[in-house]
Structure 1
């Protein structure tokens, strides 16, 4: 819960912003050209392209020097306050150009704080669970992303179904952002009650903490950083395009109602959330790479039929197609993905390594709604989202061939479990499981 709650808050409010982009465009960027207003809205949405990687570097340094617990508490405070602030900004009609300026500032702080959330939460979970169940437990981190997106989607659906357009533009869109403040207080309480992870405590007690985590990572772990970025690219782009951008695409390009677009997307997100822990558990038994290969191939197979049949298809067909590519295929790929990231790096630079690699992929993914809105307006092709996803997934698929198997059960080197708690390779399964059952002590 401590590792995932900040991620849930981040994606709940990211999804509110993405799903209500058309309403927000009218509030902050009034224009006679709807496309221009939407581009401005998605331009602000894409600000993490700059601020998130910077925040990732800053907070990763803290996380690998002072520990996971205190860093994640600071991240959550900044994220909750900046997200809640968005819901308090007056409209353009009330204060003029100051409104979009304040929105930009809030998004900068929000993106900066979010840069330290994902890697830290993943490291916290991975360093706190048994190695034989690590794949399933760490998969709850990306599952919380989908759960936050699903909650935001259902919340937006409930608002748009129960409020008039005038009510939505006046105050309805603000509610989702303001909820971040009480949720953040709950998350902060949980995180402050944690103990530091055993893996970090071990290197701290032995005075083996990295003096300059970023420099050390770039010098000794640059290949693993590129591998994380490579395998993350397809997942992050598909996630943003199919599960965040698609409701806007269905509304603005194919003239579906807002409630219909949110409903089909919510079903796809539900399939995504349910598939992730199943794939994570399978990766504990079969290894991390088999679900990654299956998921990437499935995304490549389904993405073009999905966008081809969006135009003119009935709502049930659209829901099934979204669930296939954005639910089952993406969920299968995502299940073991984050666990692979944390297993690639040693404890002293784990936070930094994962943060650098993941945030590199964010550059292409967070900007995708803006890029696709512009590309479709220039080319007139409704297949642009499919080409964009396919190109990113192809990069990830090729990266898998140079990725080592990281699951300890399949011969991967266990960088995470403290040396004092690792059993010899010759130990039997009973001996390995015994400390947890109380039969033996480490």
Structure 2
């Protein structure tokens, strides 16, 4: 009986294995488990609109104080979260096993990160931002001030609450719906590290802005001025992990989400600021709900055939194809573009072709194998602003003609053939004349 029970349980386990594997396999690229670290749990209610928008889109938020001694990002070598939100600009040291190195390793593993600084941001937050290519103003009490593009308010002379509309021009990052109202911002500015080519400004200050302490007179020229000041920046790492860095935690607050806004000197007054739309659309990009590509079904074969060969011969005609899809937030849709290219590569590209598309996700082309033998690669390196990068490589050897595959007579060699036969004919005639001439 015991043996029969074991056999029955084994059969049930094997039969359910495909179902279990399917149920735990990810159906979309969107990060779902997000750890939110706060300086104060009151932020959970004062910034509830932002958090509820994430939860409405299917995210599971785990709120913890930044100095909670039980904080851990991974267990038994597996990450417990897919995203991390640091709304703890004042924290000097994280609790538990979380530290600067752990945060950077989290991003290096391909996970996403939102960091919010503020005035008097701690050295820890500044260091995390610096590792991502962003340098906050060195003055710990500095704020972005603008005497031209400030938001009109009841507080006379409060020019630290600015109304910015310096958005990046990218529908992929900020969505296709234009943000009409300016974004209210009150916090610290930052600059981009010129050595880091991966960081982008998504919200810039106006040319009249500068960074300084609003409660003291300027003794020296400010270190950050004009449009060089970035208010919100993003990074897409080479492993496609995405990072958002903001200099204001108030920008995410319910108060600024609901506030009316009027830019100084402008006649238009908006009943609601652009903060909610801006932050929501940007968070969709950060958490891969938009601009995420995948490539499947990479194929190559000789023209007229369907099977992929083990190698090609020089001068063979071949066809190459790949399918590329884009995540729409709910499903995979065909990606349509006219700038996807394939390289046939050995040390350098011998062939560079722009792929044609049927606008249903399939990209294809055909070309002749170059008259060079060796080990080649089909390479697709696709990088476009706002989209995850694609890097595809497939290796294939190229052989020369075999001894029995050459043409018996080559047209370009006819002069040499003629020279050989004329030499033989001349020798024969010379021999006859020499032997029989008296």
TM-score (norm 1): 0.22
Q: Which has the larger radius of gyration?
A: 2
Structure 2 length normalisation: TM-score? 0.22
Which one scores higher on RCO, CA 8 angstroms, separation ≥ 6?
Answer: 1
Higher share of residues assigned helix: 1
